[in-house]
Structure formats: C-alpha cells, structure tokens
Chains A and B, each alone.
Chain A
Amino acid sequence: MNGALAIARYTLVELSRRRILLVFFVIGALGILGLGVGLKILYSVVSTSQGGFGPSNVDPAAFNHFIELAFVSYIFGALGIFGLLIAYGIGMTAIYHDLDSGAAVSIFSKPVSRVAFTSGKIAAALAALLVIMGVLAVEARLVMFLFGGGLENALTGAVLAVIGNTMVVMLLVLALSTWMNNIVAAIAAFIYYNVITGVISFVHNLTDSGVIGSGVVKTIFNILYWLVPHQLVSSATGDLVRAQVAIQGERGTTAIAGVPPASTTGDVVWWAFVVCVLCGLLYYSVRRREV
C-alpha cells in the first residue's frame, strides 16, 4: 500500500512538471475564457448599437440566451478535445517513460509489487486527469455566469461524460505503451477507439433505428457493439436542443428527433466493465514486462 502511494505521489509530481500537459491546460483555460468573454463582448456591442439586432427585431433576452447556448456548445466540443489531448499526454508518459529510460530497473528492484506499481500509476493518472478537467469545468461554469446561468446541469453532465470517455482512452494508451513505443500506442488507441469503435457504433445505430434492415448485418453489429467500449453521451446535447426550441418556438421542434440519446444505465455499466478490463490488461502488461 505504501509502495502504491509513493508511486502515485511521485508520478503526480512528474506529471505536474511536464510542459506538454501544462501547455494543453493553459491553452484550454485561455480558450474557454476567451470564448466566453468574446461572445459576451459581441452581445454587448450588438445590443448597444442602434439597430443592433437587425430588421427582425430579435428579443435581446432571447439573443443573450442564444449566445449562451452557442458558448455551451463550443465548450462541450473544447472540453472533449482537450480531455482527449490530456488523456493521450498522460497515457503516453506515465508508465512508458519509466520503462524507456530504465528508471523501472531501479524501481522494480525495490520491494514493491507490480500490483502496487500499477495501482499507483493508475491512481496518479486518474487524479491528474480529474484535476485538470475539473479546473477547466469550474472555469467554464464560472464563465457561464456572464450569461446569467441556467445550463449548469448540462455542463456537469457533459463534463462527466468527457471524463468517462477520456479515462478509457488513457487506460488503453497506458496498457498499450507497456508493450510498444508510446507514439505507436497512441496511434493504435486512436484507431481502435475513435475509428473502429466509431464505425461499429455508427452502423449499430443504423441497424437499431431500422435504416439497415439486413438481419445478418444487424446480428454481426450487435455482437461487435458489445465487444467495444461505448462512448458515454450526456443529456447535454438534448438539453441544448430543447433550449433552442424554447427560443425558436414551433420552428425548432423537428430538431429534437435528431438528438443522440443519453447513455443508459446499461451503457454506464458496460463502461465500468471496460474500465475494469483495461485496468486488468494494464496490470497483466506490467506484470509480464521484463526490464
């Protein structure tokens, strides 16, 4: 237990000194702030200039709410991208650098088990991911107050989904990078998680909604779908569309039909199972590794 704590502690110290993670974090933080302030300035300029809302005479309160929706939409996208970048950054370095540099030789000659090493590394990687994403989420939530607030729950849901998805990517890269070069591991994880899994999920959705009617294809993709991680989806997208409909009235009601559904309990349970499998795979890789 002490070994795992020491490994977690000093892995966190190392991660905190990696410039690449700091750069991603700073760009993300400045981006969120810049986006929020920029949209607010745009709103202020438009609302104070004569004829600012144009001939359609848009209600200023509705326009303010529209700007907030735009901000939240961009924030969801930005958090997803920065979450992935940070997950790749942590996953590619947390274990690989110890193995590649030879530091693992000194570490593993100490009375520390491979279970303790793996647990410590996972704990540190998760803590770093949660802290960075948590700070970005808090900043986003504070910036939302510029617009009066009202969509905070959507943001919380979206952040939780992003953290869940990035955890899977990070564990996958960590496990692969004990077997192979960390850049190759990142590329393999990207192909598996973003390309292969994405295609399988897409075709599965088509068969599920009846667009593809072939029984054989449906059976194959039903099986494949339960062999790959499911990306978690929050109810945030739906919340956003409903808010837009509220602004636009009857004109926007058709948009709701195209909104991807939020993840079900089954998806969350499958996600937890995948996380456990990846932790097990990581432990197996570390245990088998000779240094």
Chain B
Amino acid sequence: MAGVVSVDGLRKRYRSRDPWAVDGVTFALEPGQAFGLLGPNGAGKSTVVKIIAGLLRPDEGKVELFGSDPGNPASRKDLGFAPEDPDFPKFLRAAEVLDYFASLLGLDEQERKRRIPETLEFAGLDKERRQVRQFSKGMKQRLGIAQAILGRPKLLILDEPTADLDPLGRRDVRALIDQLKDSGVAVLLNSHLLSEVELVCDTVAIMAKGRVLKEGTMAEVVPQGKNLEDVFVELVEANAPPRDQLPSFITEGNKS
C-alpha cells in the first residue's frame, strides 16, 4: 500500500528576510502509524502540518499526500485536520458547521444524517444550540476534532488537539486515536504533552528551529531508564541558548 505522507527535504520561510521556519525536514507516514511531531514553541511543527494539509506552499523540497501534491483538492479527500486554535464560521451552529464540512467532503444527505448526530454526540455538542461565536475554546477544540473525523479520514492530523480540553476530553481523544490506529488510519500528532505522545505514538520526531533533531520509533528515541520528556529537554536545550535566569525583579524580591 502506498505511503500516506512523504516529506522530503522540506523548507519553508514566511518572508525572504526571515530564517527558515522549516529547514530540511524529511519523514514518511504509513497506514496505521501514529507519528508524534514534537518541539518547543516556534520549532516549525505547525508549519509542517499546514504544508501537508495544503494550506501553505513549500519553498523547497517535496511533499506528497496520498501520492499527490497537497495543493490538489482531490488529495485531501481522505485527510482529517484538526488545527491548533480551531475556528469556524461564527454565525453557524455546531450541526450546521458539520453539515457545511460534510458537503465539502462530498457526503450525500443520507450519510450526513447518519454521521453528524453521532459525531456531535462524540464531541459532546449534541445538545448545543448556540452559534460558534458563543463557544468556549474547549468547545471549539471539540468541534475541530469532530469535523476532522467526519469524513472517516485515512490520515488524521491533530495539531495540539488536547490543549484546551479537560481530562475527560483528553481521555476521549486518546481512545479515538487508538481506535483509528487499529483500523489502519495514520495519525500525525503535534503536541506539547509528551506523556500523551508517549502513550499513543509509535514513532516520533523532535524538532527545534525548523530542523529534525532526532527521529525514530519510541524505543529508538527513548533509551531504557529515561522517558520522552528527559530526551526532549536534553535535545532542545543542547540546541538553544541557556534560559536559566529569572527576571531580576523576581530575584530581587527575595532580598527585601
């Protein structure tokens, strides 16, 4: 079976005078694989997933989504993407947002009637009648995940999916990822919650300053006796200037 995602020598910067946001990233994703993309803020993780989702154009390198250019709408048919800080047309209600996106996915009316109530129930939004503009961040995040799974994707990209969720919501997302993996869906997970990544991902890549510092299976990246957080902190600190000084007005407070 063909690969789901193939990223080769990817480079991207937002303006010509800016440093590379993504600099020579290469990895591949196979069906049923859960891949964790980790890194500190500004590492370039979201840029990578946005390029895979066809939202940004790469400057150099090659990206293939199901064997095609992600800019081609047909290649995104089997993609589910839950963006970081998701938002939606703000005067629509949750059910309308899902109906809108189901139409964009080409689902017929019968399928929409079947999937939308179940998806809303999964997201805990089945009783919600308010418009999106009145939603909390957590509710928007739930709706973001709901719209991402609506098309029964073969690749699910989750960009910080649990950042605004309560512990129950996080548990549901973990269960969702496990279930999808078992059914052959590839999952690309961007997250700062390393314990969560450790629980669900088979493979990880740790990024900083647009580059991949380390990549491999969880066993290859995390040696015996250590956890993912130790490895992450060591790698990132080795590639960043030290930040051990607290602001002077904090330390001064101890003297008085």
Chain A residues with a Cβ under 8 A of chain B: 2-3, 5-7, 9-11, 13-14, 17-18, 97-98, 101-103, 105-113, 116, 290-291
CB atoms of B74 and A111 under 8 A apart: yes
Complex alpha-carbon distance, A106 and B157, angstroms: 12
Residues of B within 8 A of A (CB): 50, 53-57, 73-77, 79, 81, 83, 85-92, 96, 100-101, 103-106, 131, 144, 147, 151
Asked whether B104 lies within 8 Å of A13 as measured between CB atoms, the reply is no
Q: Which of A3, A5, A98, A108 has a CB less than 8 Å from the CB of B89?
A: A98
> With A13-B96, A111-B74 given, is the CB distance from A105 to B55 under 8 Å?
yes
Docked-complex contact A97 and B89, CB < 8 angstroms: yes
Chain B positions within 8 Å of A6 at CB level: 100, 103-104
Contact of B86 among A7, A106, A110 (CB under 8 A): A106
Would B105 and A102 count as touching, CB distance under 8 A? no
* A111 x B83 contact (CB < 8 A): no
B83 partner residues in chain A, CB cutoff 8 A: 102, 105-106, 109
Q: A2-B106, A13-B92, A101-B87 are in contact. Are A106 and B144 (CB under 8 A)?
A: yes
Q: CB distance A110 to B105 under 8 Å? A: yes
Question: A14 touches which one: B50, B76, B89 (CB < 8 A)?
Answer: B89
Among candidates A3, A110, A290, residue contacting B56 with C-beta atoms closer than 8 Å: A290
In the bound complex, residues from chain B placing their C-beta under 8 Å from that of A9 are 100, 103
Contact of A110 with B104 in the complex, beta carbons under 8 Å: yes
The residue in chain A whose Cβ has the minimal distance to the Cβ of B133 is A101
Besides A10-B89, A111-B105, 8 new A-B residue pairs in contact (Cβ under 8 A), listed by A number: A3-B104, A10-B92, A10-B100, A14-B90, A14-B91, A106-B83, A106-B86, A116-B73
Interchain nearest-CB distance for A123 vs B (Å): 14
With A6-B104, A10-B96, A111-B73 known to touch, is A105 a contact of B89 (CB < 8 Å)? Answer: no
| Complex alpha-carbon distance, A125 and B60, angstroms | 37
Max chain A C-beta neighbours (<10 A), residue from B91, B92, B131, B144: B91
Contact at A97–B90, with CB atoms within 8 Å? Answer: yes
CA distance in complex: A97, B87 (Å): 11
- Judged by DSSP, the binding face of B is loop
User: In the bound complex, do residue A109 and residue B55 qualify as a contact, i.e. CB atoms below 8 Å apart?
Assistant: yes
Whether B91 contacts A106 by the Cβ 8 Å rule is no
Q: B73 touches which one: A105, A106, A112 (CB < 8 A)?
A: A112
Closest to A5 in B: B103
Q: A34–B91 Cα gap in the complex (Å)?
A: 32
Q: Is the CB of B86 within 8 A of A105?
A: yes
The residue in A14, A17, A107, A111 that gathers the most chain B C-beta atoms within 10 A of its C-beta is A111
Which residues on the B side are within 8 Å of A17 (C-beta)? 91, 131
A122 CB to closest chain B CB (Å) equals 17
Contact A106 B88, beta carbon cutoff 8 Å: yes
Q: Is the CB of A106 within 8 A of B103?
A: no
Q: Are B54 and A103 in contact (CB under 8 A)?
A: no
Residue numbers in B under 8 Å from A108 (CB-CB) = 53-55
Q: In the complex, are the beta carbons of A101 and B147 less than 8 A apart?
A: no
| Partner of A110 from B90, B96, B101 at Cβ < 8 Å | B101
Could you give 18 example pairs across A and B, Cβ below 8 Å?
A: A6-B104, A10-B89, A10-B100, A11-B89, A17-B91, A101-B89, A102-B86, A105-B81, A105-B86, A107-B104, A109-B79, A109-B81, A111-B73, A111-B74, A111-B75, A112-B104, A290-B57, A291-B50
Closest chain B CB from A137 CB (angstroms): 26
Residues of A within 8 A of B91 (CB): 13-14, 17-18
> Which of B57, B74, B79, B87 interacts with A103 by CB under 8 Å?
B87
User: Could you tell me the distance between the alpha carbons of A6 and B55 in the complex, rounded to whole angstroms?
Assistant: 20
Q: How far is the CB of B156 from chain A (nearest CB, A)?
A: 11
A106 touches which of B54, B75, B101 (Cβ 8 Å): B101
CA distance A17 to B100 in the complex (A): 16
Residues of A within 8 A of B96 (CB): 10, 13
Task: State A108–B75 Cα separation when bound (angstroms).
Answer: 12
Complex Cα spacing A291 to B87, Å: 12
Chain A CB within 10 A, most for which of B55, B76, B96: B55
* A5, B96: Cα distance in complex, Å: 14
| Cα(A6)–Cα(B76), bound, Å | 17
CA A246 to CA B85, docked complex, whole Å: 67
User: Given the complex, which residues of B lie within 8 Å of A112, measured CB to CB?
Assistant: 73, 104
CB of A92 to closest CB in B, whole Å:
15
